[in-house]
Amino acid sequence: MPTFSSKRRVQHSADQMFDLVADVERYPEFVPLCQSLKVRHRTSAADGKEVVVADMTVSFKLVRETFTSKVTLDRPNRKILVEYLRGPFSHMENRWTFEPKKDPACDVGFLITYEFKSRMLAVLMGAMFDAAFHRFASAFEKRADAVYGTPHTAK
């Protein structure tokens, strides 16, 4: 089963990066391959977690696929879990972690495992998905710079 993981230090706070990743409605503006995203519903729990169910459409050349995911936003623990519900995968799960470091920096962790239902779709989309995941970290970091401002390095 294909897996991709990365850990990247960014010059924005853990809370800012959590908010940026949690703002799924904005993904079509900057996430590689994301053509559209529609939130079906949101629910809040007493423990501070929020659950979002959303449809994401990814597109590359002539291939266009929509899948539904359940996104658990665990703000108290600065973690986001995305679980696959339906679409072209037999399995898909990804996890985000946001670990505060010396202000204003944090380490952003990203892990995804996935497997397509169709072997043909795996051949068509597999290499492209791998390339997109390599660009995810920089896409979120660039988005953070655009939303929160470019961090200034001390001299």
Residue 66 domain-assigned? yes
Tell me which residue range forms the domain holding 8. 3-148
Nearest Cα residue to 101 out of 117, 81, 84, 78: 78
CATH code at position 122: 3.30.530.20
Note the pTM of the prediction, 2 decimals: 0.88
52 Cβ contact partners less than 8 Å away, ≥ 6 residues apart: 24, 39, 41, 42, 70, 71, 73
Question: Domain for residue 155, yes or no?
Answer: no
Encode pLDDT of 20-49 as tens digits: 999 999 999 999 889 999 999 999 988 989
What would the pLDDT profile of 81-135 be if each residue is shown by its tens digit? Answer: 999 999 888 999 999 999 999 878 999 999 999 888 888 777 766 667 777 777 8
